[in-house]
Structure formats: structure tokens, C-alpha cells
Structure 1
């Protein structure tokens, strides 16, 4: 039973328990009534669409990565993704049941552990496609940066919320140093795309926390200067930008080749698509099941299906921010809005790459792309998001309510 329900007058508790039924005193029943069921439904819709998309992309990726030493079954990636979804959904449910204090503690410990693993990746990680971002676990690979993202958001929210108790704390430089440390470790891998995500989420949270416009403007200017500096002094960024702005038509596997093929695949099915299994261009597309799965959706299910997925991501973000309009707890406000922003920013970057308006970044589409680390990490982040947006609907409507739920 939640703190808010326990502290409520006996009459209110009786009505709540009667409404929930004989088994209404169980934590599961209380969770069901407090959870944002619309937000949960939107997330489950994305997961379901992701399974359909991976099933469509799996034959193309299986053919590309089959060779003399290994033959991959056409639906190999689909069955593995189904396994990861079966693991991830219970994780999401358990995390969403955490009280606010418990979710904060888990996130702080998780951030510390993942930061240490991120620092270890350049030394013990496995190299894939020229990048060292994963730690091998035998049967699969583990990407610390994916798990660090939700923990980073909650940790940063906690730090920024401390200003309510002590306005003189140097929270801007403190959270900035935390973000810069993560960005530096990511660029060693190299992973410039994830660095952009962490920095963008940090800026969004600063704006929501009420940081002065002057400071935000200075940070934006510093960000632009950082991109220019990365072009001149960071080879990975320069290669990606040059390949995007000045493509070499004679270089068949350049970054611009990937974005060109993604655009051709995306538009290959027109508005309604070729139908499930009818895609042809997808067999020429690198990473069809991960980075460029949005294009596979466009070819087989049409641009209309792509628009539906974009609207679903928008609906998730809008739903969270509308839910937070009356939130009085600064920590919950920052944590939930940061988690929603992280989800939205990553989705926008992936769709921008697939449509050819941004250079290739190796960024997956949340809940849609194939990947065990991505799916489990997203489930943890979504569980935290659901935990921070939980509300007691009965106390909120009661004239006897004396405060907000402290779950």
C-alpha cells in the first residue's frame, strides 16, 4: 500500500479498496491504478511495431552477415529480439513499481557502475565496425552507454533538484563536468552520436530547471564551437561530416552511401509499401535491422507507417509533459521530462539519418531497432519514467486529499 493511501482518512481508503475489489490491497492492484496506462499502451505499441519491423528486416541482415563460416537463418534476428522483449517487459514492470526514493537510489548506483564500465570499454571492449563500444559476454554483447543513459538522466535530475534546498550550489558546472566526462569517454570509442544525445538531454534538463537564458545561450554557443572543434581535431566527426557534405561517388561503402541507400529503401515502397516480405532494396542496406530499420519500414509498410511511428514517439513525449504540468516535486519533474526528452531526441536523430537530413551516427530507433542492450536499457528507462509519473487517481479527486502521493 502506498504512503498516500496509508495516510488517507479511513473512508477514502475503504472506497479505494472497494473500487479495486477483494484483491485490491495487493501492490500489483495499486500499481495498476496508479500507473499511466495511456503512456504504457503507447510504449507497448512501439514494442509491438518493433517486432514486426525486425521480422521484416531480419532476412536482409541474415543474408548480409551469413558467410562461409556461418549461415544465419532468415528469421534469426526476429527470434532473438522476441527473446529480448520477453526479458525486458518484466524488467520494465518491476522498475515501474519502485517508489521515488528507491528509483533514485537504483539510478545513482547504476550510474556509478555504468560509468566505470564505460571507462573500461576502450581496454576490454570488443571492436565492431571500427568502434569499440561493447563488452563481450559470450552469448551476447553488453553496451554500457545504453544503460548509462537513463541513470544519467535521473542522477542529473537529482543534482539539479538540490538547488531547492541550497540555491548557491554550483550545479551548472557540476552537471556539466559529469556530462563532459561521459562525452569524453564516449568519443574514445568513438561514439559521437551518443555524445550528442547526452549533451542535448542535459541542455533540455537545464532549461526545465530554470537555468538563466544567458547561461543557456552561452552553452549553445559552446556546443556549436565544440562541433567546429570536433571537425578539425576529431577524426571520426570529420569523416562523417565530410562524407555527408562532400560525398565521394566512387566510394561504395562511404557513410553517404549508407544514407543514400537508406533514403532509397525508405521511399522504395511509396505511401502504402510493398507489403510484408516484399522489399527488395533492403537487401542492399547495411544494418537494416538496427540503424536503418526505419527505412525498411518505409519500403515494406509505406511512408504512412513511418508517419504513424513518428506520431507515436511524439505522443509519448507530449503525454509525459502534459502529465507533468501540475508536478510540484522538482526531482520528479526533471527526471521524467529528461527521460522523455532522451527518448524523443534519440528517435529524431535516427529518423533524420534515415531520411538523409543528418549524417550517419550509428543510432538505433528506440523500441524498434534490434538489440538486447538497447531493449533492456530502454525498458529500465521506461520503467523509471512510469515510476516518476505514477499518480493516485482517487486521492487526487477527493475533497479530503491533503497532499500528493509520495510513492
Structure 2
């Protein structure tokens, strides 16, 4: 009987041997092709394509505002630049998605240290733009360290929190709190209130996924609320933003104009190039590109984009339901939450549900640092959600064609 069962196992295992179907390619590209989450990759590709169309729609308005009246300035200047950044970002995303998890983890730890150090120097050597110091100038171009730090921070936190599985006595929670607090302090000095919120919110979400005590989470929520109140009274940028949002005082031109632009196109929009209100937006190609989409392509297009972001986050979280590696769960979930939360904040600002924060819409807004950082983050996310389709999560079950046989 035992021999019979063993024979069935061997026969069925041979039946699903990948080599018999040309899937035994052990090259990096071959493994990547069969292990990558193709649905997730497709959703991201669609989002990048939509972003390129949106930048083309916003480019004339941005060009008119920032060209200084130059007659030689192309109306599609930002479109062509965005296309160039996409041409760089997509290969970066693909290469990183091909990395083994261990290599991706090491890359992230190195990246987290490197960009944290850059973040320290931003207030010292960074050029001031619109009253803020958020960039480091390398001569050939400017880099915004906080954008690149986001994905690396998530993976580094996932690694740190997962160490608890091996040794319960490790003080990983206090260490993660100190690191996050240090980053928040440096961001507030720039000032960058929006990124501060993202880092802190993602950290708390990862603590919840790591199984931290509910009382600690409640305490962090209270501390966060107290922090916002203190920021309102002692942090000028927060005071200005909150007053504009809650009381309509100060300069509300940006958010008011964004809302009027977004709704001007109705359900179906005025058509590509038909928008006129976009020419009055201060940042039509970055912070308020969602409003440009609303004017030219309609509210239905805006809802479709919101659904696309939700689909990406949901796809990742659902895929993690049968994952058994705590580091992979924390890293992938954290990256998805960070990605979705940034998109949510940008869209909420455009519909006046949140104060203005100067935050880009992932893969849709124009920007070199943003595109490269998002490509790195999505590459890491694709790397951590890769799955061998021939391996089950249980070592005691051999699966094929929907059947199983206990070993």
C-alpha cells in the first residue's frame, strides 16, 4: 500500500515536472517570468501609461507657467522628460524585481542607510525651493532623499521587526521608534509635513502587522493626535495648512482652484487638450495632476484611477494571505500600504478632504526622483511577491491540477 502511494506521488510529481513543459529554464529571466505576479505587473503598467497621458495633458499648462514666456519652450516639454524618466525607471523596476529576497533585503538596508545620511545633510547643503529644503544637488541634477528613503525604510523596518521571531527579547520596537522619530525630525526641519505623516503611518501599520500589543497601538494613536495638536501650535507650516483646511483662512487658492478644475469636466471631461482651468493651477503636472485628469477626462476617469490604486494594494494583501515568511509579509504589505497611502493623500488634497501637502500621485505625477523612487519601491514589491508556481506552502502535500495526495 505504501509503495503504491509512493508510486502515485512520483508519477504525479513527474506529471507536473516543469521541464516537460519548457518551464525548467533556470536563468534569471526564466525564473522571473514564471514567478512574477503578472497581474500586479499589468496593473502597474496600466498606471504608468495613464500617468504618461496625464502628464501630456498637464504639460502645456506647466510649460506656460514655468517657461518664463519663452517662445522656444515646447508645450510637451514635461511629457518628453517624463517619457525619458519612464525609460529609465521601468528597467530599474524589472531588474530589482528579479533579485532574490535576500539580495533585495541587503540592497534595501544599504539604501536606507545611504539616503538617511543624505537626509541629514539636506537642511545643510540643500537648495531652498519655495521656502523648503528637500533636495540635494549633485551637479547633474537634484535628488530628493526622502522619496528614495520611503521604500528602503519599509524593507529595513520589516527586517528589524521580523527579528522578533528569532529572539523575543530583542528591543526591536523601541529601536524602530527611535529610527522613525529621527526621520520624522529631519523631515519636519525641511519642512515636509506630508512625508512625515507617511513614514509614521506606515511604521504604525507595520507594527500592527507585526503583532504589537493593542495598548501600544492605542498609545501611539493618542501620541500622534497630541503630536498634530502640538505641531499646530508650535510648527508654522502645520498651523498654516490646518487653518487653511479647517477654517478657510489664509491662502486657499491652490485647493479651491484644484477642486474647481477637477469638477469642471463633469463625468466625461472636456477631452484631451480641451481643459482651460488647468492653466490656473500652480502645480498642474505634479501635486494637482489629478485635477487635470478630472477636467480633461472626467470624474469617471478619476474614479477608475482610484480603483486602480485600490486594486494594486488589494492584490498584494490578498496574495500575502498564504505567505509564511514574516519578513516578506511585512515588507510587501508595508510597501503596498505606503504606495496606497501616498496616492490617497494626493487625491484627498485634490478634492479638499485633506490640507495641501505637496505630494505627488504615484506613477502619474511628473518627476524624476519620484519616478525612480517609485520604480525601486515597486521593483522591491514585485520581488517580495514572487512565487514559484510549482511549490506549495506545505511541505507535506504534492499538488497538481487541483488534486492533492498526502505524503
Question: TM-score of the superposition, structure 2-length normalised?
Answer: 0.92
Counting only pairs closer than 5 Å after superposition, residues 214-363 of structure 1 correspond to structure 2 as 214-248=215-249, 254=251, 256-363=252-359
Q: Name the CA distance, whole Å, in 2 between partners of 1:141 and 1:304.
A: 36
Q: Name the CA distance, whole Å, in 2 between partners of 1:13 and 1:81.
A: 48
Q: Which has the larger radius of gyration?
A: 2
Q: Name the CA distance, whole Å, in 1 between partners of 2:21 and 2:354.
A: 51
Alpha-carbon contact 2:261-2:294 (below 8 Å) kept: yes
Match of 1:194 in 2: 195
Q: Name the CA distance, whole Å, in 1 between partners of 2:115 and 2:20.
A: 44
Matched residue of 2:135: which SS? Answer: strand
**1:312-354 deviation line (CA, Å, top 9, x unaligned):** 0000010000000011110000000000000010001000000
**1:162-195 deviation line (CA, Å, top 9, x unaligned):** 1101112222211111111000000111000000
**1:261-294 deviation line (CA, Å, top 9, x unaligned):** 1000100100000000000000000100000000
| Residue 230 of structure 1, CA deviation | 0.4
Alpha-carbon contact 1:17-1:25 (below 8 Å) kept: no
Alpha-carbon contact 2:269-2:296 (below 8 Å) kept: yes
Q: Name the CA distance, whole Å, in 1 between partners of 2:372 and 2:306.
A: 21
**1:237-267 deviation line (CA, Å, top 9, x unaligned):** 111111222334xx6xx2x210001000100
**1:120-171 deviation line (CA, Å, top 9, x unaligned):** 1111112111111011233432100000000000000001001101112222
CA separation of 1:131 and 1:69: change in aligned 2, threshold 3 A: farther
Question: TM-score of the superposition, structure 1-length normalised?
Answer: 0.92
Q: Name the CA distance, whole Å, in 2 between partners of 1:271 and 1:179.
A: 42
Alpha-carbon contact 1:18-1:24 (below 8 Å) kept: no
Match among 356, 366, 373 for residue 369 of structure 2: 373
Alpha-carbon contact 1:65-1:72 (below 8 Å) kept: no
Compute the RMSD of aligned alpha carbons: 1.8
Matched residue of 1:325: which SS? Answer: helix
Match of 1:118 in 2: 119
Match of 2:54 in 1: 53
- May I ask how many residue pairs the two structures share in their alignment? 387
Match of 2:204 in 1: 203
CA separation of 1:215 and 1:87: change in aligned 2, threshold 3 A: same
| Residue 26 of structure 1, CA deviation | 2.2
Match of 1:396 in 2: 392
| Residue 72 of structure 1, CA deviation | 2.9
Match of 1:84 in 2: 85
Q: Name the CA distance, whole Å, in 2 between partners of 1:70 and 1:137.
A: 29
Q: Name the CA distance, whole Å, in 2 between partners of 1:120 and 1:26.
A: 41
| Residue 27 of structure 1, CA deviation | 1.7
Matched residue of 2:366: which SS? Answer: coil
Q: Name the CA distance, whole Å, in 2 between partners of 1:70 and 1:163.
A: 61
